[in-house]
Amino acid sequence: MHVSRSAVRRAARLVLSFGAALALVTGFSAEAQAANGKLSFKDADGIVHERANPTDGVCYSFTKPAVSVDNFTDTDGRLFTGSLCEEGTFLIDIFKGTSLVFGGTKPMSAKLGG
């Protein structure tokens, strides 16, 4: 049985089109990982704000400066005095399963993982 070149080309284009469509639907890279647990902070008014299973590498801005931060996740993180997690505003690392209390300089954002 002989298959023409044009039939092979059509089949190849069909496979490439299907692969491209599949990549657009599922994404080209792996999904971002989420830390398991809760990241929370308490503001000066005593209100606790929580984020369940926060995504690694995402900056979480606080609505007000935090007087305490709880990292009850399985991922280490970093706290910043700026609201956008800029490296120039890095304050302190916060390790998984720990809490920090702040008196003077207070964090305004947090980022877990990479």
pLDDT tens digit string along 39-79? 999 999 999 999 999 999 999 999 999 999 999 999 999 99
Residues 20, 25, 27, 33, Cα dihedral to 10°: -160
Q: What is the mean pLDDT of the chain?
A: 83
Domain range annotation of the chain: 37-112
Query: Highest mean pLDDT: which of 13-17, 30-34, 36-40?
Result: 36-40
pLDDT range class, residue 11, cuts 50, 70, 90: low
Spatial neighbors of 76 by CB under 8 A, at least 6 apart, are 93, 94, 95, 96, 112, 113
Residue whose entry in the numeric block shows the structure tokens 């089109």: 17
Banded model confidence at residue 104, pLDDT cuts 50, 70, 90: very high
Q: HSE (CB half, 13 Å, CA atoms) of 90?
A: 8
DSSP state of 92: E
pLDDT interval class at 2 (50, 70, 90):
low
Domain 37-112 has CATH 2.60.20: yes
Give yes or no for residue 7 having a pLDDT over 80: no
User: Given this model, what pLDDT does residue 33 score?
Assistant: 87
